[in-house]
Chains A and B, each alone.
Chain A
């Protein structure tokens, strides 16, 4: 059986077959045989030869949250291509959406419509868990739209401010990490 999984932006093609004692999993050029023992519904021990690998996992919304040896992984089936295109279109339109980095209260709006901003400029302050988080512009451009009044409760990914970007499309801009406290999400 062929299985496609995405992990950390990387796509993996896997092939699984039953063997006498367990399973053979092909990943790219490698092929490994495992015995798989059920510990509890969310826990398996994979035996790779004599070496046990304890794996905890939970499946939710079609994706697997997995824990192995101090590391966590989010494994999901690849995104349908239509969703990827819409993200790309946003970049092509050269309108940068600056989104809420987390759920919280929009405490202060520092950006006005029509205002020119430079990378690193403060656009808004979102408060959650009693701490304030500054949302800074990752790009240079002109503020076209401010979507919420102050004091609104906003959710992760909701576009707070829309910026008409000067040069590079937003899709190529990196989230700014100036002063180590800006938070910008473009998911």
Chain B
């Protein structure tokens, strides 16, 4: 029985997890770094424990601090979210030793799927096809260079320990190899504390299609169909959708079966994702298992009607999963856009600072999983994901139109976001036609230029500011009143903001 869960994460996913706890009548405990003291997950949790300095290694990645926090509040379980310690087998083992339920797979299954090479061997034995690549991992530059020659170009450099694009680089020419390996090792060390890399052949124009699975501790496993996650920038997914526009019903059924074979071969439990690449000819290759709740899980929730986080908690508490494969249906279509604090005019550099104003979209079929608010300070220490906007529709086009309208409603002032870029992506004829290969961004947006603002919007902006300035200048002096009303001196103000 789980009564209290420590959420070992921050941002929008921590908020999402706290909401699931609240629904289930489970007490939630947030942890936070110095930079996050005023963050939304801290405001929402039932209890909150400081972890100290802001750098992740001294806070959200510090296993000792997280375990100590869980013990201090007598939490029965830890939910790791995604990133940070979510796929760290050592951390899972620590939880097991301390008698704390880790909401995810066992440490053994985590170690197996986390080791890309070992996972590959296991998957091949289960009869699921894989991509040509190394059969070991390494952080030895000379060895990696020899392996690269054997595999052939183009190839992908990947962090052996992680996911989410950290440490990942595409190498097309031999001159790019050495810098890519060096940077890959550094990024992998910084992000996961393990600098070993894995190299594999890069497939041209593939689709990234992943299958969501749930497996309980009694050998019962189901899949909840696929997510198409091909629209990526620098190997970070930015737009995801389900169902995939490229799968036939036969291929969908076959890949779903393959995903379940992978999960069973790895003795995997709880929620997980089996990633595949699908090439031009409809051949699919196993990529990796993501042993965590995924950033893009909401699209599966909207289309299947299954609350994945709730299922994770029920499975972790030892319950028998009641869902049956035959009951899982895809209804309608869902699209997710990830809102990042990045400046599309400055080559998508991170944009930090105070968010002065947020106005979130709403409407039929719109879900907004967010970790921000007016007055929130975006820190340089963490991933720049601010929020996820998800649109559901009866079909793909309706979902797309709802997304289009919602993106246009999403007001974030004070920092830059790539919302203009997301709007351009979902308006692109290739996206409308469902031609969402992984080279979509490189092909259609080699350089992104902000579209010129519409004349009437710019005129309205200028007119509004001019009128506000005019009103201010014309405001009666009201000397007597002034003493009693400091608000008049503040200009436009809002709770939670500083001018």
Interface residues of chain A, those whose CB is within 8 Å of chain B, are 1, 3, 5, 7-8, 12, 14, 16, 18, 23, 25, 27, 30, 32, 34, 36, 40-42, 44, 46, 48, 53, 55-60, 64-73, 75, 101-104, 107-108, 122, 125, 127-133, 177, 180-183, 185
Please give, as numbers and ranges, the residues of chain A lying within 8 Å of B470 by CB-CB distance: 1, 3, 16, 18, 23
Return the contact of A129 from the options B179, B381, B463 (Cβ within 8 A). Answer: B381
A177 near B347 (CB under 8 angstroms)?
Answer: yes
B461 near A58 (CB under 8 angstroms)?
Answer: no
B175 in contact (CB, < 8 A): no
Return the contact of B464 from the options A12, A41, A57, A103 (Cβ within 8 A). Answer: A57
Q: In whole Å, how far is A30's beta carbon from the nearest beta carbon of chain B?
A: 8
B186 near A58 (CB under 8 angstroms)?
Answer: no
B380 near A70 (CB under 8 angstroms)?
Answer: no
Return the contact of A41 from the options B190, B453, B492 (Cβ within 8 A). Answer: B492
Query: A130 with B166: in contact, given A25-B463, A32-B459, A69-B454 (CB under 8 Å)?
Result: yes
Contact with A along B411-439 (1 / 0, CB 8 A): 11110000110010000000000000000
Query: A56 with B347: in contact, given A5-B462, A32-B459, A70-B409 (CB under 8 Å)?
Result: no
Return the contact of B190 from the options A56, A64, A70, A130 (Cβ within 8 A). Answer: A130
Contact with A along B446-476 (1 / 0, CB 8 A): 1100000110111111111111111001100
Return the contact of A7 from the options B352, B420, B458 (Cβ within 8 A). Answer: B458
A104 near B380 (CB under 8 angstroms)?
Answer: yes
A183 near B460 (CB under 8 angstroms)?
Answer: no
A130 near B383 (CB under 8 angstroms)?
Answer: yes
From 15 to 65 in chain B, residues with beta carbon under 8 angstroms from any chain A beta carbon are 56
B166 near A5 (CB under 8 angstroms)?
Answer: no
Please give, as numbers and ranges, the residues of chain A lying within 8 Å of B174 by CB-CB distance: none
B382 in contact (CB, < 8 A): yes
B465 near A57 (CB under 8 angstroms)?
Answer: yes
- Beyond the given pairs A65-B356, A130-B187, 4 more chain A to chain B contacts, judged by CB atoms under 8 angstroms and listed by A's residue number, are A5-B462, A7-B458, A7-B461, A46-B467
A16 near B466 (CB under 8 angstroms)?
Answer: yes
Interface residues of chain B, those whose CB is within 8 Å of chain A, are 56, 166, 179, 183, 186-187, 190-191, 234, 346-347, 349-352, 356-357, 359, 380-384, 407-414, 419-420, 423, 446-447, 453-454, 456-470, 473-474, 491-494, 497, 499
C-alpha spacing A48/B497, complex, angstroms: 30
Please give, as numbers and ranges, the residues of chain B lying within 8 Å of A181 by CB-CB distance: 234, 347
B349 near A101 (CB under 8 angstroms)?
Answer: yes
Return the contact of A75 from the options B349, B461, B474, B499 (Cβ within 8 A). Answer: B461
C-alpha spacing A153/B366, complex, angstroms: 40
B383 near A129 (CB under 8 angstroms)?
Answer: yes
A130 near B347 (CB under 8 angstroms)?
Answer: no
Please give, as numbers and ranges, the residues of chain B lying within 8 Å of A48 by CB-CB distance: 460
B462 near A103 (CB under 8 angstroms)?
Answer: no
Query: A56 with B346: in contact, given A16-B470, A127-B190 (CB under 8 Å)?
Result: no
Query: A34 with B463: in contact, given A3-B470, A16-B470, A67-B413 (CB under 8 Å)?
Result: yes
Q: In whole Å, how far is A52's beta carbon from the nearest beta carbon of chain B?
A: 10
Please give, as numbers and ranges, the residues of chain B lying within 8 Å of A18 by CB-CB distance: 470, 474
Please give, as numbers and ranges, the residues of chain A lying within 8 Å of B423 by CB-CB distance: 70
Please give, as numbers and ranges, the residues of chain A lying within 8 Å of B179 by CB-CB distance: 122
C-alpha spacing A48/B461, complex, angstroms: 13
B380 near A44 (CB under 8 angstroms)?
Answer: no
C-alpha spacing A107/B183, complex, angstroms: 10
Query: A70 with B408: in contact, given A44-B468, A101-B346, A125-B183 (CB under 8 Å)?
Result: yes
C-alpha spacing A150/B225, complex, angstroms: 47
C-alpha spacing A177/B449, complex, angstroms: 12
Please give, as numbers and ranges, the residues of chain A lying within 8 Å of B466 by CB-CB distance: 3, 5, 14, 16, 25
Q: In whole Å, how far is A117's beta carbon from the nearest beta carbon of chain B?
A: 16
C-alpha spacing A122/B461, complex, angstroms: 40
C-alpha spacing A3/B186, complex, angstroms: 51
Q: In whole Å, how far is A138's beta carbon from the nearest beta carbon of chain B?
A: 12
Return the contact of A71 from the options B234, B382, B457 (Cβ within 8 A). Answer: B457
Return the contact of A58 from the options B381, B414, B446 (Cβ within 8 A). Answer: B414
A14 near B359 (CB under 8 angstroms)?
Answer: no
Return the contact of B499 from the options A40, A55, A56, A60 (Cβ within 8 A). Answer: A60
Please give, as numbers and ranges, the residues of chain A lying within 8 Å of B457 by CB-CB distance: 53, 68-71, 73
C-alpha spacing A1/B453, complex, angstroms: 26
C-alpha spacing A183/B410, complex, angstroms: 27
Return the contact of B357 from the options A67, A107, A127, A130 (Cβ within 8 A). Answer: A67
Question: A16 — nearest CB in chain B belongs to which residue?
Answer: B470
B494 near A42 (CB under 8 angstroms)?
Answer: yes
